[in-house]
Amino acid sequence: MSARDTIFARLKGDAPSKAEADALLIAPERPRVDEAALEAEFLARLALPSISATHDVIDDMAQLPAAVARYLESQNEALTLCMPPDPRLVACDWQGFTLHDRAAPDEAAAIAVARRGIAESGSLIFETGPTAPMLPNFLALHHIVLLRVDDIMPYLEDAPLPGVQPRAHYWITGVSGTTDIEGTYVRGAHGPRFLHVLLLRQ
């Protein structure tokens, strides 16, 4: 008998009823979010010490390169950026920047577009795809994220996007941190040490 058969032989039982599984999800306990002030709620969480992200606001996509330049210069970083082939990003005028789309092992800065922002936790939601690689967002020291204000949703239940699940769906709620030595918090354990969100109001 295969291991699979052995295991299933011991797990015979009724199939679960969908209604029973759904009933477990009615009115979940979760942090309160003022749904009339999602942007403020989201930004308040971003500023918490556990996340410590900075942010800037832009009114349209044309302002994006200047906002990125402002941030990198404030961090004494060169205008060198790992940028995925996302058409919204590629369409901007990046004059003055050195761009590339494959992250180097010691990448200084990478930009990405978040699919959602979650007010409950200050999370940024990403999905992989042909124009959205995953690795640069974990390699770069500075992680710069573009998020449309309209994409801010109240709860984590709003994170999954409709349609076919991508290869990877991931939530980023802060920077790479560790408390593995004496419980002391250190930023930039393996990945980003800085997280900067550019909110697009358009």
Q: Give the interface with other proteins as residue ranges (CB under 8 A).
A: 2-4, 6-8, 10-16, 20-21, 24-25, 28-32, 50, 84, 105-106, 120-121, 123, 128-130, 132-135, 138-139, 156-157, 159-160, 165-184, 186, 188-192
Q: Please, are residues 137 and 126 in contact by the beta-carbon 8 Å criterion? A: yes
Q: Does residue 47 come out as left (phi exceeding 0), alpha (psi in the -120 to 50 range) or beta?
A: alpha
If the CB atoms of residues 3 and 36 are measured against other proteins, the closer one turns out to be 3
Choose among 76, 62, 57, 158: nearest CA to 115: 158
Residues whose CB is less than 8 angstroms from the CB of residue 41 and which lie 6 or more positions away in sequence, other chains included = 33, 34, 119, 120, 154
If the CB atoms of residues 27 and 36 are measured against other proteins, the closer one turns out to be 27
Name the minimum Å distance from CB 106 to other proteins: 8
If the CB atoms of residues 50 and 74 are measured against other proteins, the closer one turns out to be 50
If the CB atoms of residues 63 and 123 are measured against other proteins, the closer one turns out to be 123
